Chains A and B, each alone.
Chain A
Amino acid sequence: MSEHADTPDGKPIDRSIPSALADLFQEVILDHYRRPRNKGSLEEPTHTITMNNPLCGDVIELSLSVKADRIDDVRYEGRGCSISQAAVSMMTERLKGAKLGEARALSEKFTRLLHGEEDLQRDEKLGDLRALAGVSKFPVRIKCALLGFNCLDELVGEPAAGDREPGSGQGEQR
């Protein structure tokens, strides 16, 4: 828009969108940010937890309905940046109908994706979450992308915990 011709050091302004940013804020991410899936609360959750990121104020409340080792239904409430909110929305899509072991595996894979493991960008199990691979270039934003999964880990146990009892994390059970 602007008529201002140059940057503070006198170079011409490059008005193109830097590719790292285009990779970070992919359209599918903005879509989940603006049209969140599974947002709301469950009438009778078996597990629920609220976590926040005290540094930036992002908040997510995750509710699961677990029946016989399977996630029957899932909802979340939350506020925050596009990365934290899109990631949790995408996560819930992958969780419906998943076994607890599968949920733990998803969490573990997603964490590896965020740390730059490129093979995982082709892993269909991750679904839309693959769009968050660009976060690996922005280390300070990794904690945003993980907030929803941190809730999940607390509720169904860390991936490394193997076959721990569901809900044996610190999440409050109802």
Chain B
Amino acid sequence: MKTAVVAPPYDIDAVRQDFPILQERVNGQPLVYLDSAASSQRPRAVIDAIRQHYETSHANVHRGAHELSVRATEAYENARSCVAAHIGAEDAAEIVFVRGTTEAINLVAGSLGSTRFGPGDEILLTKMEHHSNIVPWQLLAERTGATLRFVDVSPEGRLVMDDYGRMLSERTRLVGVTHISNSLGVINPVKEIAALAHEAGALCLVDGAQAAPHLALDMGALGCDFYAFSGHKMCGPTGIGALWGRRAILEEMPPYQGGGEMIDSVTLEGSTWAPLPHKFEAGTPNIAGAVGLGAAIRYLEGVGLDAIRRYETELAGYALERLGEIEGLRIYGPADGRVGVLSFTYRDVHAHDLATILDQRGIAIRAGHHCNQPLMEHLGVDATARASLYLYNTPREVDALCEALHLAGELFCRTH
């Protein structure tokens, strides 16, 4: 019997106990949740923090002169400080709470739009971007006459770094890149890319949706100008995420939406803006969401980002090895320098059929284009199956996946 030589640097059983949903049964089977790249699950600490906020501290923020409003404001601003410290931001005022990565990128594109971009200006993206780091720029290009260009992806599934040398020019105003691809799992050299962007005089935005759940981050070291991520992929609630931006740049940018909370003073003739970060947070924010995100970060830090990364790397290695043994299975993305986001195709079994078969075994995976249609076209596939691993997954669950794939193979071979 082949046993998994994966030694967790933390108590994996205890971690699994922290996530109540992992005790669920699905289609009569124990749940094997391999879809954390789409949305992770929540530990009890996060669920409790949200409940406790509503039970003891809820009111609107930055408004009331009463005790609960003070508590709510404190909780909300503490969450901001927690996010800032977690990603190595210099200043909590550089953290703007948003709904998620998508809104963060739309905020930057919307606010920078008319001030920074005009006809002939270029925005340099990559062919592995999620739709949320393509479409906002397409809308911006339509409004301003700017042009989008795309760095290529190698057959192995890495960015063709030479393209930056060829494509960056004084016309490039912004470079947008995903830190980790949600289809290929590859970790991109964003520090290097940010440096190249700055040499060309461009801003650099990093989509951190898939990186924030897995990597210890340090904005100071990374060197980009904007970093966007979502709470729900890192054990936090849905509907909350953060945009980090360099203070000097955020200061210059006009508001993204208008309304309450974001003004300094309003007259019928015009208004002046509140200081950062409130200038970008019009309306009543997702207060409980921010509290939950803070709790999620404390949870991840409690387990230890480095320990999580070490364990996930081993687990991904084990999964790549086991999946690699299955005849007719093709994995997309590189063998190393990656996380456990594993996209694959299996013989001629379509990804949706695979997902249905696996679901009958209690195994949740994603099937489709993963909001990566241009990348899928580039890879020459319509859809892939995607199993994604997180801190609570086990080698046994990888084994269950492989077993179920054999079942799929058998089902589809009956006529052969």
Contact = CB atoms under 8 A, between A and B. Distances in A.
Interface in B333-369: 348-353, 356-357, 360, 367-369
Contacts of B368: 55-57
B385 to A, nearest CB: 11
B382 A57 contact: yes
A9 to B, nearest CB: 4
Interface residues of A, number: 34
Interface in B361-416: 367-369, 373, 376, 382-383, 394, 396-397, 399-400, 402-403, 406-407, 410-412, 414-415
Given A2-B403, A57-B383, A8 B394 contact: yes
A3 B353 contact: no
A17 B407 contact: yes
Interface residues of B, number: 35
A174 interface: no
B397 A27 contact: no
Interface of B: 1-2, 29-30, 32, 348-353, 356-357, 360, 367-369, 373, 376, 382-383, 394, 396-397, 399-400, 402-403, 406-407, 410-412, 414-415
A64 to B, nearest CB: 25
Contact of A24 (B356, B397, B403): B356
30 contacts: A2-B399, A2-B403, A2-B406, A3-B1, A4-B399, A4-B403, A7-B30, A7-B400, A8-B397, A8-B400, A15-B403, A17-B407, A17-B410, A17-B411, A21-B357, A21-B407, A24-B356, A25-B412, A27-B414, A55-B368, A56-B352, A57-B368, A57-B369, A57-B373, A57-B376, A79-B382, A82-B353, A83-B353, A138-B356, A140-B356
Nearest to B325: A1
B360 A21 contact: yes
Given A3-B2, A25-B357, A80-B382, 9 more contacts: A2-B403, A3-B1, A4-B396, A15-B403, A20-B360, A34-B348, A58-B352, A81-B351, A140-B356
Contacts of A5: 1
B415 A34 contact: yes
Interface of A: 1-5, 7-9, 13, 15, 17-18, 20-22, 24-25, 27, 30-31, 34, 55-58, 79-83, 138, 140-141, 144
Contacts of A34: 348, 415
A25 B382 contact: no
A2 B326 CA distance: 11
B2 A30 contact: no
A80 B32 contact: no
Contacts of A17: 407, 410-411
A83 B357 CA distance: 13
Residue in A3, A30, A80, A138 whose Cβ sees the most chain B Cβ within 10 Å: A30
A71 B29 CA distance: 47
Contacts of A144: 352
